[in-house]
Structure 1
Amino acid sequence: MSFERAYNAFNISNSTDLAIGFTSSTVAVLLFGTNFVPVKKYDTGDGMFFQWILCASIWIVSLVVNLIQNCPRFWPLAMVGGFLWATGLALGLLIWASFNLLTGWASSRFGWFGIDPEEVARPVLNYIGAGLSLLSAVIFFFIKTEVQTSSASLESTPLLRESSVNASEDTSDVSWVTNLSPVKKRFVGCSLAVVAGVLYGSSFVPVLYIKDHGRRNGTIYARASQFDLDYVFAHFSGIFLTSTIYFLIYCAVRKNKPNVYPQAILPGFVSGLLWAVANCCWFIANHYLSAVVSFPIITAGPGLIAAMWGVLVFKEIKGLKNYVLLSVAFCIILAGSLSTAFSKV
């Protein structure tokens, strides 16, 4: 009888974990797909000032979370994840998303970078889910967007194409990229997007490494917290510190004449709040589902949400072909998410 009670308690606990994990994943998808809407109508220039405001807002959220968690031990290694994220900020969407998904999923599934491989009940379904999520990112590349180009409009970049910021050209400066041939521009863009995707996909590795080694005696991380949210402050501190260093370097390169856009401060701050809450939900999803399940869902879903903003609010996506592609992408994301979800149970 005691065995039956223990079995029932385990099932209830497991069901609760799954509910929390998938709810957190859903919130993360919605917020990641929405977090750049507040700055949609504001010029953010070359993005360097905007990204610093964004990261400052992110750090403030982490400070609140740290206080709520009663200031758990600060592990400097977790800051490396923030460094990787901030370094990969603002590079090409399709290739970035693909390599982000692949790096994050594969590092967790196969135990890269010194972390323990994560097992799932149905590996085949997990592989199918990751593959379908990757395919959905490819389909989004073929959806065409239409944006106003008149000087009266500040909407210079469609949400679906953005990886992190609205980047408009500064006609007063000539970038070195401008002088490159189209082939070289594509090569540079693809190379940077691959690097960004790998950096983004690796951003959770330091936290997973600390947790894995925290379960082993004789390591400096012995008895480290197994709750992912306890590492948010260190992770986000790495983001803000790296962002600040890059912004100072940018100011120095521009001889203390950075492009500053005051009208983007409050929208950028709100954007950072949305991103930070979304990423906190991702940490929670990693804890209750494992990264090998959460990564395919949370990296594929925001593209669909951003596309829906483009269709319903900004009217950027029009035409039967685009609607068909969007519908196909939705079905593939749904199938991939369900496959990934059922691989866990």
Structure 2
Amino acid sequence: MNNNGTNLATGFISSSVAVILFGSNFVPLKKYDTGDGMFLQWILCAAIWLVACVINLILHCPKFWPFAMVGGCIWATGNIAVVPIIKTIGLGLGILIWGSFNTLTGWASSRFGWFGMDAEEVSNSLLNYIGAVLSVVSAFVFLFIKSEVLGAASFTETTPLMTEHVINTTQESCSGPTYSWVDKLSKTQQRIVGCSLAVISGILYGCTFVPVIYIKDHSKINDSIYAGASQSDVDYVFAHFSGIFLTSTVYFLVYCVAMKNHPKLYPEAVLPGFLSGILWGIATFCSFIANHSLSPVISFPIITAGPGFIAALWGVFMFKEIKGLRNYLLMLFAFCIILTGMLCTAFSKL
């Protein structure tokens, strides 16, 4: 197999692994109460950074570029909303919406050279634009899919919520289960908040690789501060993941201050959260490999749109969040749209 064939095989295999893990990484957390998500965010990012340390040692500690950390900061900011999204509109619908906007943002920034990056040339501009439009259309179809999500009270039947007297014996010792701000919203408010947060998270996720691509593009300019920087995406994994962990730590400390040193901690979510972080870290490492082997214009639509298929399958068959013939038909229609868009975007480069 020639070098080009090897790159294609490596890229598509890495993309497939990333799609499966991105679509499944929140599954371990589904049956555990995670409160407002701030504690979970920090646990998740600690596991991600551990994966980065292992990868960095395997790669023999390539040069650390601090600017690559910015992408991690952007991702961690978008990830704060994950728990409220899952609690309001469900795992499947949440990933489908933020995945669509993730696809559009990542595609547009690479295609048009936003944020100082080099614009990606494609062989067929029409197919490329059709793929981007279909990604947006699919997101609006997902908005009409109604999901049934178990509230905090429902979790007590299988996994008891952590009560205040377990966490802090000095406050509300007899108040029973704790509820986050999400649980106090009406059904309509939850849907509006969940969909809005999913859109914002998707846009932020779509920008997460921008700093790495920027460094690679400017490494070819002799008078640039990034001159001579590595062209291999995986060499930036440790810096990217370090940005994630640093940002999440800052957010958690700010949260502790805002809560007057009484943060809501959920011990039962520690191990599931850690597992979720490891799955995400491996998936992101695979996406770095895919970006290098295929280029972002091809890999990005596949990796960002694909997890929606996996997540929705979990939502239908495991968690029973999506029910009814109407919802199934809408979901099938949305899948067809996003799959068509993904293929159009990919083939426009080939």
Q: Work out the CA distance in 2 between the residues paired with 1:144 and 1:124.
A: 33
Q: Work out the CA distance in 2 between the residues paired with 1:140 and 1:241.
A: 33
Is residue 57 from structure 1 mapped to residue 62 from structure 2 by the alignment? Answer: no
Deviations 1:109-167 (A, max 9, x none): 110111101112222222222222333333222222234453414599xxxxxxxxxxx
Aligned positions of 1:70-85 closer than 5 A: 70-85=60-75
* Pair 1:155–1:236, CA change in 2 (3 A): farther
Matched length:
320
* Pair 1:190–1:266, CA change in 2 (3 A): closer
**In the alignment, which of 242, 255, 258 is matched to residue 263 of structure 2?**
258
Q: Which runs of no fewer than 5 residues in structure 1 stay unpaired? A: 1-8, 157-169
Indicate if the aligned counterparts of 2:42 and 2:245 stay in contact, CA closer than 8 A.
yes
1:174 CA drift (Å): 7.9
Indicate if the aligned counterparts of 1:137 and 1:300 stay in contact, CA closer than 8 A.
no
- The residue aligned with 2:144 is 142
Q: Work out the CA distance in 1 between the residues paired with 2:144 and 2:62.
A: 45
- The residue aligned with 2:15 is 25
Q: State the one-letter code of the partner of 1:106.
A: A
Indicate if the aligned counterparts of 1:121 and 1:343 stay in contact, CA closer than 8 A.
yes
Say which is worse superposed, 308-317 or 49-58, in terms of deviation: 308-317
- The residue aligned with 2:312 is 307
1:191 CA drift (Å): 6.3
- The residue aligned with 1:212 is 217
What is the DSSP-based 3-state SS (H/G/I as helix, E as strand, rest coil) of the residue aligned with 1:235?
A: helix
Q: Give the root-mean-square deviation of aligned CA atoms.
A: 2.8
Give aligned-pair identity as a percent: 64
Q: Work out the CA distance in 2 between the residues paired with 1:90 and 1:291.
A: 25
1:258 CA drift (Å): 0.7
Q: Work out the CA distance in 2 between the residues paired with 1:233 and 1:184.
A: 36
- The residue aligned with 1:159 is none
Q: Which runs of no fewer than 5 residues in structure 2 stay unpaired? A: 86-93, 162-175
Q: Work out the CA distance in 2 between the residues paired with 1:108 and 1:279.
A: 18
Q: TM-score, normalised by structure 1?
A: 0.84
Indicate if the aligned counterparts of 1:106 and 1:292 stay in contact, CA closer than 8 A.
no
Indicate if the aligned counterparts of 1:133 and 1:297 stay in contact, CA closer than 8 A.
no
Indicate if the aligned counterparts of 1:136 and 1:333 stay in contact, CA closer than 8 A.
yes
Q: State the one-letter code of the partner of 2:209.
A: F
Q: Work out the CA distance in 1 between the residues paired with 2:265 and 2:246.
A: 19
- The residue aligned with 2:133 is 131
Q: Work out the CA distance in 1 between the residues paired with 2:329 and 2:107.
A: 28
Q: TM-score, normalised by structure 2?
A: 0.83
Is residue 111 from structure 1 mapped to residue 101 from structure 2 by the alignment? Answer: no
**In the alignment, which of 48, 61, 74 is matched to residue 38 of structure 2?**
48
1:223 CA drift (Å): 1.0
Q: Work out the CA distance in 2 between the residues paired with 1:327 and 1:18.
A: 29
Deviations 1:254-292 (A, max 9, x none): 111111111111100000011111111111111112212
* Pair 1:264–1:176, CA change in 2 (3 A): closer
Q: State the one-letter code of the partner of 2:52.
A: S
Indicate if the aligned counterparts of 1:147 and 1:155 stay in contact, CA closer than 8 A.
no
Aligned positions of 1:1-345 closer than 5 A: 12-91=2-81, 93=94, 96-148=98-150, 150=154, 151-153=156-158, 186=192, 193-345=198-350
1:102 CA drift (Å): 2.1
Say which is worse superposed, 90-99 or 60-69, in terms of deviation: 90-99
1:307 CA drift (Å): 0.8
- The residue aligned with 1:4 is none
Deviations 1:14-62 (A, max 9, x none): 2222222122112111111100011111111111100100000000001
Q: State the one-letter code of the partner of 1:315.
A: K
Say which is worse superposed, 297-306 or 89-98, in terms of deviation: 89-98
Say which is worse superposed, 225-234 or 275-284, in terms of deviation: 275-284
Q: Work out the CA distance in 2 between the residues paired with 1:271 and 1:185.
A: 25
Q: Work out the CA distance in 2 between the residues paired with 1:191 and 1:307.
A: 19
What is the DSSP-based 3-state SS (H/G/I as helix, E as strand, rest coil) of the residue aligned with 1:134?
A: helix
* Pair 1:44–1:189, CA change in 2 (3 A): closer
* Pair 1:53–1:184, CA change in 2 (3 A): closer
Say which is worse superposed, 39-48 or 128-137, in terms of deviation: 128-137
Indicate if the aligned counterparts of 2:36 and 2:181 stay in contact, CA closer than 8 A.
no
What is the DSSP-based 3-state SS (H/G/I as helix, E as strand, rest coil) of the residue aligned with 1:77?
A: helix
* Pair 1:331–1:175, CA change in 2 (3 A): closer
Q: State the one-letter code of the partner of 2:337.
A: I
